[in-house]
Amino acid sequence: MRALVAAAATLLAVAGSASGADPFLRHTATVDVVRKVGPAVVNVTTEQIVSGGSPFRPFSDPFFDRFFQDFFEPRAPQTVKSLGSGVLIDADRHVLTNEHVISRASRIRITLADGREFDAKLVGADPNNDLAVLRVETKEALPWIPPATSSDIMVGEPVIAIGNPFGLSNTVTTGVISAADRSIRTEDRVYHGFLQTDASINPGNSGGPLLNLRGEVIGINSA
């Protein structure tokens, strides 16, 4: 029994000495980037007013609409909410995000990592590159990180994605640049100059930053 207790004490002593050095091993470049950039990553919540229309959609046609209009009230307009991400890019409280995140939004709301919430207005959008710039409606100083050039991207380079997938604030995933200058076709357009990464990007990540190990914003994620 004494031998067992002595062995356990020895193991605890070894574990204790190992854990003392462990923070130095765990404090990687990724940790530094997350601490530096995380406060500038925001949750983008949008509201869109969707007209109600006929109660028989998607089966309605003009004949049925006219026939039943005296018997049924049309559906009332509804407010639909959606979630995305963004990143503050300057001291003037501008946020860079995806155009599809804020498309047709009647109201845009920004939530910081520290829980502060503000309204935001659309400054400009570029649908062909799926980018949009917002301005946060506040006089308060907000954390921000400047965007960098992606002209020297290296395939295989480690990258970090920060965003709000499924509304889970400041989720961090890592990977590498799998390819550069990709073209992606959707239903209504073709996007060019995309970076491909194997870092996990899920719904809600759209609009969040893709970062290199220097903590520079080299891209905007799109899910």
Residue from 85, 94, 130, 169 carrying the catalytic annotation: 130
Q: Which residues contact 71 (CB under 8 A, 6 or more apart)?
A: none
Beta strands in the chain (DSSP E): 41-50, 78-88, 94-97, 107-111, 117-126, 131-136, 158-163, 171-185, 190-197, 209-211, 217-220
**Can 82 be counted among the known catalytic residues?**
no
114 counts as catalytic: no
User: Which listed residue (94, 100, 169, 222) is catalytic?
Assistant: 100
Q: How many residues does the chain have?
A: 223
Nearest in space to 84 (alpha carbons), one of 70, 99, 69, 63: 99
Contact 135, 144 (CB under 8 A): no
Q: Rounded to 5 degrees, what are φ and ψ at 119?
A: -75, 155
Catalytic-residue membership of 130: yes
Contact indicator for 45, 171 with CB cutoff of 8 Å: no
Burial (0-12, 13-18, 19+ Cβ within 10 Å), 214: exposed
- Given the residues 85, 94, 169, 206, the one annotated as active site: 206
**Where in the sequence numbering do the catalytic residues fall?**
100, 130, 206
